[in-house]
Amino acid sequence: MRRIKCDLVKKCCEKGKFTRVSESKKLFFYETPKCASSSMKKMLHDALPDYKHGDPSNVDDSYFTFSVVRNPFDRFVSNYHMITTTPHRIQNILKPMFGKSTLTFEEFVENFDKKVNHHWLPMTEFHPEKDLSFVFRFEHLKEDMKKFKELTGVELKHIHMNRCRKPKPHYRDFFKKQEWIDKVSQYYAKDLEKFGYSF
């Protein structure tokens, strides 16, 4: 993983922010923003007493490494919802980055890549070059928790944080133009290929 650094807040992405470790279980978690990251951190904290920030440079083959991934198009739309409907995100992300307090989806597509924000960086930016031991899929997190227990002996109790109270339209409904699909596909090309997602 490369050094993550946002353009907005100097201390937003300090060392260790996106990695967690349990030395007793030799588990190393690579957090991917907008991929059930808040829920996963809470579940891991509840299950692992020694769960804490970890330095990825200390990881060797003795660790079981894992992360959560999500369809990049769905993740992209989730980011749009986050910065346009959550008050503190409007104040801390939308206004500084886009210079306004409201934003159309088209404007987000046209401008999201002009400044760096960790919430929508490609998922592969948060992962090591070496393949992870296990990858949770956002789309079937509960099922993957059972596989995780079989592999590690650690049982995670499902928690859904930051749940949207109103039903959201499917992500495909937002992409009205092929050029929007093409731009997002290009930006997340590595994610789409590595994790087998498509529009």
Show the tokens assigned to 129: 């070059």
Q: Are 124 and 192 in contact (CB under 8 A)?
A: no
pLDDT per residue as tens digits for the range 120-161: 999 999 999 999 999 999 999 999 999 999 999 999 998 876
Q: How far apart are CA 28 and CA 180, in angstroms?
A: 35
Residue 12 counted as domain residue: no
In angstroms and rounded to an integer, the radius of gyration of the C-alpha atoms of the chain is: 17
In a domain, 92, yes or no: yes
Distance CA 199, CA 186 (A): 12
pLDDT in tens, 161-173: 666 666 779 999 9
Q: Is residue 9 part of a domain?
A: no
- The two structure tokens encoding residue 64: 């079981």
- Reported as a single tens digit per residue, the pLDDT across 34-83 is 999 999 999 999 999 999 999 999 999 999 999 999 999 999 999 999 99
In-domain check, residue 14: no
Residue 71 located in a structural domain: yes
SS (H, E, C) 73-106: HHHHHHHHHHHHHCHHHHHHHHHHHHCCCCCCHH
Residue for token digits 């060392």? 15
Number of domains in the chain: 1
131 within some domain = yes
| Domain enclosing residue 79, as ranges | 19-195
Tell me if 72 is assigned to some domain: yes
State residue 142's pLDDT score: 94
pLDDT score recorded for residue 159 = 83
> What DSSP state is assigned to residue 173?
G
In whole angstroms, what is the distance from residue 24 CA to residue 52 CA?
A: 11
Q: What digits encode the pLDDT tens for the residues 83-99?
A: 999 999 999 899 999 99
